[in-house]
Structure 1
Amino acid sequence: MYLSDQRHIAHFDLDTFFVSVECLKDSRLKGKPVLVGGSGDRGIVASCSYEARRFGIHSAMPMKLARRLCPQAIIRQGDMESYSQYSRLVTEVIADSTPLFEKASIDEFYVDLTGMDKYFGSLQFTGNLKKKVVKESGLPISYALAGNKLISKVATNEGKPNAEMWVALGQEKNFLAPLSVAKMPGVGKETAFLLLKMGVETIKVLSEIPQEMLTNLLGKNGQSLWRKAQGLDETPVVPYHEQKSISTENTFQQDTIDIAFLHTQLVRMTERIAFQLRTENKLTGCVTVKLRYSNFDTVTKQKSIAFTAADHKLQKVVRELFDKLYERRMLVRLIGVRFTQLVPGNDQINMFEDTEHQVQLYQAIDSIKRQYGERLLMRGSGL
């Protein structure tokens, strides 16, 4: 067993989360090829069952191609409200049972069990926690226990579905050695292709490359990759605190009644905090617009929406709320936009409705903003 002063990190991952929730809602889906995502020809697969994966289907694949590979697949549009409810339920179970945990996404958790072997076995505790999640939520969940976050995550992915893995301390390099370099977190398609061209197919071979050579080849990412290949990772488990809102306000130097100007400001404000949402890997389920007249009367209006972080969807809601809110035709002193009901989420969730082109467009826009600053690129309607 572990020594009590060593790190114990458990990684939990809800198996095919969106599909599993759909199966709970409709038991007839169990054991069948199920796709969750945009149902149109230009839609994208956000998640798929293991039965569907046998046909070569994977997330982020165009739905048209997935339907061609598996014509008998059952398609579900996706229900973010249900997914969020189940995610909160699992979060509550883990929060009630563990001293320190991190919610890495809507369906992924890290639990720090360091020191718990002084009282009872970390491995036994992890297994019991899995049973409790399954009992309380009905959802299948995989886990792996290891000495750091890197190994626990890779082990979970290797063991899924229904993983129950344990990588003993000192066995990190041996565990990673036979795996493909493409399975190393942080290795994207381009880096994997480059390494494969060099004949580096396994993490064992990667670990044998001198650190200086990898640094010269890949820069800072090479240093990080070398440490990962050795099974080293000191990344801490970040305590989970649910953020309540993201907002912005603009008080004008001079009160205005210029509707076109106000619409332009709302576009810029919405675009700014929507980018913040995506940067923090979050989605919003409620939008509020605030307006303060020149006589300091302040009014607000809000609307619950399907969870999203997409500019074009949020801007439409913001403008709709503002147009309903602005009734007096008086000078305006301040306007504000606030996003609440925040949940962890990533680009895949937007695939329920967005086309492949839209997803790629947002990825390109955000990449430019992160590299050169968010003010460099904005919509024409915000100028």
Structure 2
Amino acid sequence: MRTRATVLHADADSFFAAVEQRDKPSLRGRPVLVGGTGPRGVVSTASYEARRAGARSAMSMSRARRLSPAAAVLFPRFEAYSAYSRVIMAELGTLSELVEPLSIDEAFVDLEAGPFADDPAGAATEVRARIRERTGLAVSIGIGRTKLVAKLASDAGKPDGLLVVEPADEDGFLLPLPVRAVPGIGPATAAALERLDVRTVADLRRQPLDILTMTVGESSGVNLFRLARGIDPRPVAPSGERKSVGAERTFAQDIFGTDLIAAAVDRVTDEALRRLTAHGGGARTVVAKVRFADFTTLTRSVTLPQPSAEPAELRAAAHQAARAAGISDSVRLLGVSFHNLSAHAQLTLPWDSEETVPVAVDEPADGPAMLGLLTEQNARPGLDIEHESLGRGWVVHVRGRQATVRFESVDTPPARSQVLDLDADPLLLVPPLPRTLDG
């Protein structure tokens, strides 16, 4: 392992919510919840204002709204988040050629592979300032000798912080931490460790290897034994090709019946196919995910003889995988994903020009709205709209033909809500403004 703290972990603070506050001036300083807006929606991100009221990511949206009743609840705008992410990753790329994105809003950087190995703190300070200047967003950074320490340091530095843990200070930093802070320790593992009276990393370090392997299994036990001692030899490895693309949908009400479930599989597959097309190439393995009303979750897969980009073939495989899950009860969630992606895939040209008509599902899809005229059916709170004379803004809510909107953007003053009659004042759903990245 390396002898100095040159692994950097960067994590944008409350990323989705922060982008929304950046693009919507009237929400700055206010609690914001981003996620599913239906009755079974889940919080993707809660702003720090909402977190102070007890809301958090992965919580049901209904509970988060009860905890933070003043919060603005917004539908995710992934196009906007991706644009901000590209700027953040580009700035991190100025530090080193070895950047390993973990998700849309966090990454590891190996400073040994760049010109800043002798001054990690200075490099981190400068890149945080440049990211804030270009995006208006706060990024917390942790630096350590290993990925483990760097990740824990960035968590400890939140929000909007920078923490460098030198090798000599690792034990003083690691040992007092709660064991749940260690990446990979979830509720089940934490409960098993609790039975050993293990609550902190110091408690974990005192456990013999054989006790850990008997408690959580061979692989996990060895891993925890190493992590408790700060041993983490994983290199910073720039990610290669994306491993899968897909889509899933939680229904407002459980669905039941062969025809309705088949129609729902079609709708989810349509969205997964759109994402596969955007990615390019084809896939060899199709996976269906089914969650039943009792929260039991099953996944089944179908592997084709060779990679395919043919929609009909991939759709048939999705239905086959869903049927293999043995759907005989009410379904709460359906997902379809494509794996074993390949840039070289078989595409069968159609013999005629007939188009298949997609089967409609009664429940509104909890997915990205299509661009076009705003209606009650395609409206989602937070989506971007444009008026012929009033300019750009965003949707607050739509009821019938009455739309409540705010005409503001990243570089305007905060705006008050206005109610428009969509018959007299039609509004267009539009993509996010790319100039939100000008700083």
For normalisation by structure 2, the TM-score amounts to 0.58
Match of 1:82 in 2: 80
- Name the SS for the 1:226 alignment partner: helix
Shift of 1:90: 1.4
Q: Deviations over 1:227-256 (max 9, x none)?
A: 11111101111124465545137799xxxx
Shift of 1:275: 3.3
Query: How many equivalent residue pairs?
Result: 286
- Name the SS for the 1:291 alignment partner: coil
Match of 1:112 in 2: 110
Counterparts of 1:155-166 in structure 2 under 5 Å? 155-166=153-164
Matched, 1:275 2:337: yes
- The separation in 2 between residues aligned to 1:41 and 1:171, in whole angstroms, is 47
Match of 2:348 in 1: 291
Cα pair distance change 1:71/1:215, threshold 3 Å: same
Match of 1:55 in 2: 53
Partner letter of residue 62 of structure 1?
S
- The separation in 2 between residues aligned to 1:63 and 1:313, in whole angstroms, is 14
Match of 1:214 in 2: 212
**Contact (CA 8 Å) 1:12, 1:142: kept in 2 or not?**
yes
Shift of 1:40: 2.4
- The separation in 1 between residues aligned to 2:312 and 2:120, in whole angstroms, is 61
Match of 1:65 in 2: 63
Shift of 1:21: 0.5
- The separation in 2 between residues aligned to 1:300 and 1:130, in whole angstroms, is 50
TM-align CA RMSD: 3.7
Counterparts of 1:1-383 in structure 2 under 5 Å? 6=4, 8-114=6-112, 120-219=118-217, 220-241=219-240, 243=242, 245=280, 247-248=282-283, 264-265=316-317, 267=319, 274-276=336-338, 290-293=347-350
- The separation in 1 between residues aligned to 2:137 and 2:366, in whole angstroms, is 31
Partner letter of residue 291 of structure 1?
T
Shift of 1:270: 11
**Contact (CA 8 Å) 1:103, 1:110: kept in 2 or not?**
yes
Cα pair distance change 1:36/1:293, threshold 3 Å: closer
**Contact (CA 8 Å) 2:97, 2:113: kept in 1 or not?**
no
Match of 2:266 in 1: none
Cα pair distance change 1:52/1:263, threshold 3 Å: closer
- Name the SS for the 1:98 alignment partner: coil
Partner letter of residue 227 of structure 1?
R
Q: Deviations over 1:305-343 (max 9, x none)?
A: xxxxxxx999xx9xxxxxxxxxxxxxxxxxxxxxxxxxx
Partner letter of residue 28 of structure 1?
S
Partner letter of residue 52 of structure 1?
A
Identity %: 33
Q: More deviation in 44-53 or 90-99?
A: 90-99
Cα pair distance change 1:149/1:245, threshold 3 Å: farther
Higher helix fraction: Structure 1 or Structure 2?
A: 1
Highest RCO, 1 vs 2 (Cα 8 Å, sep ≥ 6): 1
- Give structure 1 regions of 4+ aligned residues with deviation exceeding 6 angstroms: 249-252, 259-262, 297-301
- The separation in 2 between residues aligned to 1:209 and 1:71, in whole angstroms, is 45
Q: Deviations over 1:252-279 (max 9, x none)?
A: 9xxxxxx9989635645999x95345x9
Q: More deviation in 73-82 or 192-201?
A: 192-201
Q: Which segments of 5 or more consecutive residues in structure 1 lack a partner in the other structure?
A: 253-258, 281-287, 302-311, 318-383
Match of 1:365 in 2: none
Q: More deviation in 234-243 or 135-144?
A: 234-243
- The separation in 2 between residues aligned to 1:262 and 1:119, in whole angstroms, is 47
Q: Deviations over 1:150-178 (max 9, x none)?
A: 11101111110012001001322221111
Q: Deviations over 1:116-146 (max 9, x none)?
A: 5787412211221111111122211000110
Partner letter of residue 173 of structure 1?
D
- The separation in 1 between residues aligned to 2:147 and 2:210, in whole angstroms, is 25
- The separation in 2 between residues aligned to 1:263 and 1:190, in whole angstroms, is 36
- Name the SS for the 1:71 alignment partner: coil
- The separation in 2 between residues aligned to 1:261 and 1:124, in whole angstroms, is 53
Partner letter of residue 109 of structure 1?
A
